[in-house]
Structure 1
Amino acid sequence: MKPLLLPLATVAAAVCLLAGPTPASAQAAPPAARATLRDAAGQTAGEARFTETAQGLSLDIEVRGLSPGQHGFHIHQHGECAPGPDAATGKIVPFGAAGPHFDPLHSRNHGHPSQPPAEAHGGDLPNLVVGADGRARLQAERPGIGLKPGPASVLGRTLVVHELPDDYRSDPAGNSGPRLLCGMIELAGEPPAGARHTFPGSNVFPEGIAVDETSGTAYVGSAAEGHLYKLEPGQPRAELLSLGGSPGRRAALGIRLDAHRRLWVAGGAEGTVALVDAASGRTLAVLKTPHSPHAFINDLALSADGHAYVTDSFRPVLFRARNVVDQPTQLEPWLDLGRTPIRYVSGETNLNGIVATPDGRYLLAMQSATGQLWRIDTRSQAVQPVQLDATLPHGDGLVLQGRELYVVRNVENEIVRVSLEPDYARGRVAQRLSSSRLRYPTTAALVRGQLQIVNSQLDKQKNPPPLLPFDVIQLPAP
C-alpha cells in the first residue's frame, strides 16, 4: 500500500521470467498488441492487431460471420467484455460493461476518426465494410492514442463491433446500434490470461488479499472505501461481503484469515485493525493503537507463536496482539524500531508487507522507501537486514512459501521471487515476473502454484482515472 501518490511506472512489454536484465534490443522493439473478438455466445469471430507508430496507433482488423454492409467499431473505455447497462436505457445489454468510447483527452464528442482526439473520442474508428461472404478486413491509423503506458494507452481496454454503421455525428456512439463483438486489447506475446475477478464500482482501489487455501475463496479489501469483498473460484465477479465506512474500517489494507475464520483487516490512517467474521461480514472487534495524526497501519502477519504482528508505515513501531478468541481491544507497541537498525524515511512508506516464517521464529518485513528486507526475531526482538543481491524499492506485499519469498513491487509492476537461505538472513533474486496485466499491484496470495495478484491502481487515485473494472488477476508463480 502507498499512502502517498507516486509517479506512474513503465509497464513491461510482455510477461517476462528473468534471471537478469532484459536485452537492450528487446527493450527497443516497438510494442504490438492484439484483441480476439468474440460474440455474446463466446464464439471467436475475428481478430485485431495493433502496432505503435510515430503517428499513433496502427490497426489491422478482420471479422467474419457478420451481415453484409457497414458496421461501426470503436475502442471502448473499460477492460471487460461482459454484460452491462446501456447508457441510454439502463438495460443490461451484451458487452455493456465495456463502457463508453475511449476519450483520453475528454473531448466529450463523438466524431469522425480523421478528427484529432482533442475534438473527438480517441476510440472513434472508420466503419467496417462487410462483404456478401460475411467477412471484412480494414487497416487504419488513429493518431493521438497508442500502446505505451500513459493516459492515451489502449492496453487493457476493449474493441467493440456494432450492428449498424457509425454516422460520425450522433452522441455518444454514432447511432451504431447493438454491440455484436468484443475483445480485450492485450500485448502480443502474453500467455492466455488466467482466472480474473472484477469488482463493481469506480472507487474500489483494492489493496490486500487473504485466501482460504481449503476452498480457494479469497477476501479483498478496498483501500478507498473500506468494503470487503469475497471472490469465489469460478465466479468472475467479486461479491460484496461487508460495507466499509464504520470506525475501524474506513480503509481496508492488509488482510489475513485466521483459524477462527476471522479476517484481520489493517485500517490505515485510523491506526486500527478490525476483526471481521468471514462468513457474515460482521465486525467482531476493533483493535486500537495509541492515537496519532501520523498513524498508518498497513499490513500484518499471523504467526505460529500465537500473535499477530502489525506494521505502521509512518510510526517506527511494530505492534502486536494475541490471536485468541476473546480478543483484547488494544494493539501492544511490541518493538520500538527507533532502537533497531531500521531508520524510517520521513514522509515515505516505510515498513509495509510482513510475513512470519512457518515456525513463527522470524518475521520478514519490507521497507518500501529503501527497498530493504528486514529479519526480526520474535524471541529476542533482534533486527537485522536480509542480505540480498539487489535492493527492491517500492516492495509492497510479501508472500512466503517455504524459503521462497515473493515480493510485490507496486511502481515497477513486478513480482520478484527471492530464494532465501535456511536462516532467512541471506537470499538472492531468482526470477522476476512482469506483465502488461499488472496495474500497480500491492500484494498477492499463492494458491496451488498460482499467484492471485491485487491490481490496486493506487497511482490513479487522482489523474488519470483508473482503468475499470478493478481486478484481481491470476498468473503462474515464477
Structure 2
Amino acid sequence: MQHHLARRGFLGAAVALGAAALTAPLTAGTAHAAGPGGRWPTGFPLPRGFQPEGVTIGHSPYAYFGSLGDGAVYRASLATGEGRIIHQGLGAGHSTVGLKIDRPGRRLFLAGGWSREIRVVDARSGALLRHFTGLGAETTMVNDVILTPDAAWFTDSFQPQLYRLALDRTGEPAHELTVLPLTGDWTQGPDFTANGIERTPDGQALLVVDVFQDGGSLLRVDPRTGVARAVDLGGLKIPHGDGLLLLGRDLYIVQQAVDQIDVVRLDPAGTRGTAIARITDPDRFRIPTTAAVWGDRIYLPNARFGLDPDPAVADYDVVSVPRV
C-alpha cells in the first residue's frame, strides 16, 4: 500500500471477466489482454465497500482478502467467485493490509496498518488467536507479511524495522514479538518507505520494497542481523512497488499506482535480477495492490485508491492474469 494513496477515496467498478493480460519482454513494450482459458472466472466481485488490499491463497482454491475499512477477512472460491466474510474484524480503525495463510491452511497472519497491530486468526472459524498492539511508534503502519518455516515477518512502512513473530515446529505462533532494525544499505525516507516483503529463492534472506531509496529499490535483508543490501535489478525502478510474489526464481512486483506488474528473474540468493516481463491490463487493472497464485493464474484485488469519492459504498473486484 502507498501511504499517500491509501488516505484517498475510491469509485465503483463493474466486474470485468473477459480479458486476461498477456506478458511480454520489457524491451518489447507493454502487452495487453487476451482471452482467458478454462472455465473458472477470471474476475469476481467483492462485497460493496469492502476496501481490499491484501490477498493470500493456500493449498486449496480459496482466496482470502483483507479489508482496509474494518479489518474483516473475506474468503472466496476461485472456482465460482462466491464467498463470505469469515472474520468480522475489529471495526473502523483496525485495518487488515497484508495477510498470509500458513501451509496447512489453519491460520491467517494479518498486518494491521495504522492500528499498529498484528493479528493471527483461525482460518476456519475466524476466531482471533493472537493480538499484538501498540507496535512501533505513533506513525507506525504494519503493512505486509511473509511466512518462513520458523517465523512470520512484517514490514513497518514508517520505521526502519521488521517485526518477527516466531513459529514453533507445528506452526503455532509465539506470544511475543521481536523487532529487527534495518541497517546496511537501507535508506529510510521522510514518509512512507517499506512496503511488500518476500523470501529469496534460496530461502536464506528476505526481500523488502523500499519505495524511497534510489527512486524505488528492492533490498535483500539478512534475517539474523537486519543488514540490508540493494538488489541489482539492472536499472529497473519500483517507486510504486507494493506486493511481492515469488514463484520459483520469478519475482512478481505489483506496481499499484501505475497499474502494472513487473516480473524479475532472480539469482538463487536474491542479490540480482533481470526484468523479463511486464503485465498490464488497462481495461481491468484499477490500482491492484498485491498478488497470489493458484495454478497458472495470478489473482489481484483492485484497491481503487484515489478513484472513489466514498470507499465505504464503492464496488470492488478481483482480477486474474496468466503467470509468466
User: TM above 0.5, one fold?
Assistant: yes
- Matched residues in 2 for 1:246 and 1:232: separation? 25
Residue 50 of structure 2 corresponds to 204
- Matched residues in 1 for 2:155 and 2:308: separation? 23
- Matched residues in 1 for 2:290 and 2:5: separation? 17
Q: Indicate whether 1:385 and 2:230 are aligned.
A: yes
- Matched residues in 1 for 2:258 and 2:224: separation? 35
Q: 1:341 to 1:270 in 2, by over 3 A?
A: same
Identity level (%): 30
Residues 77-476 of structure 1 mapped to structure 2, 5 A cutoff: 190-192=34-36, 194-201=41-48, 203-213=49-59, 215-246=60-91, 250-259=94-103, 261-290=106-135, 292-304=137-149, 306-324=150-168, 327-334=173-180, 336-337=181-182, 339-347=183-191, 349-357=192-200, 359-369=202-212, 370-389=215-234, 390-435=236-281, 436-460=283-307, 462=309, 469-476=315-322
- Matched residues in 1 for 2:312 and 2:307: separation? 5
- Matched residues in 2 for 1:405 and 1:375: separation? 13
Q: Contact between 1:200 and 1:238, CA under 8 Å: does it hold in 2?
A: no
Q: 1:361 to 1:21 in 2, by over 3 A?
A: closer
- Matched residues in 2 for 1:344 and 1:461: separation? 30
- The residue type paired with residue 414 of structure 1 is Q
- Matched residues in 1 for 2:203 and 2:151: separation? 9
- The residue type paired with residue 43 of structure 2 is R
Indicate the SS of the match to 2:140: coil
Q: Contact between 2:308 and 2:314, CA under 8 Å: does it hold in 1?
A: no
- The residue type paired with residue 209 of structure 2 is M
- The residue type paired with residue 447 of structure 1 is W
Residue 25 of structure 2 corresponds to 19
- Matched residues in 1 for 2:306 and 2:34: separation? 24
Indicate the SS of the match to 1:4: helix
Residue 56 of structure 1 corresponds to none
* CA positional deviation for 1:404: 0.6
- Matched residues in 2 for 1:14 and 1:21: separation? 21
Q: Contact between 1:255 and 1:300, CA under 8 Å: does it hold in 2?
A: yes
Q: 1:411 to 1:303 in 2, by over 3 A?
A: same
* CA positional deviation for 1:301: 1.1
- Matched residues in 1 for 2:308 and 2:178: separation? 32
* CA positional deviation for 1:380: 4.3
Structure 1: segments with no counterpart, 5+ residues: 28-186
- Matched residues in 2 for 1:326 and 1:303: separation? 13
Q: 1:314 to 1:471 in 2, by over 3 A?
A: same
* CA positional deviation for 1:21: 5.3
- Matched residues in 2 for 1:200 and 1:14: separation? 22
- More moved, 391-400 vs 374-383: 374-383
Q: 1:272 to 1:398 in 2, by over 3 A?
A: same
Q: 1:330 to 1:432 in 2, by over 3 A?
A: same
- The residue type paired with residue 277 of structure 1 is D
Residue 151 of structure 1 corresponds to none
* CA positional deviation for 1:258: 1.4
Q: Point out which structure has higher relative CO (alpha carbons under 8 A, 6+ apart).
A: 2
Spell out, residue by residue over 1:270-314, the C-alpha distance to the aligned partner (whole angstroms, 9 max, x if none): 11111000001111111235452101000011112x011110001
- Matched residues in 2 for 1:291 and 1:317: separation? 9
Residue 78 of structure 1 corresponds to none
- Matched residues in 1 for 2:298 and 2:258: separation? 17
Q: Contact between 1:256 and 1:300, CA under 8 Å: does it hold in 2?
A: yes
Residue 33 of structure 1 corresponds to none
Q: Contact between 2:199 and 2:205, CA under 8 Å: does it hold in 1?
A: yes
Which TM-score applies when normalising by structure 2?
0.85
- The residue type paired with residue 255 of structure 2 is R
Residue 67 of structure 1 corresponds to none
* CA positional deviation for 1:466: 9.4
- The residue type paired with residue 3 of structure 1 is H
- Matched residues in 2 for 1:266 and 1:14: separation? 29
- Matched residues in 2 for 1:376 and 1:233: separation? 33
Indicate the SS of the match to 2:291: strand
* CA positional deviation for 1:191: 2.5
Indicate the SS of the match to 1:428: strand
- Matched residues in 2 for 1:466 and 1:2: separation? 19
Q: Contact between 2:142 and 2:154, CA under 8 Å: does it hold in 1?
A: yes
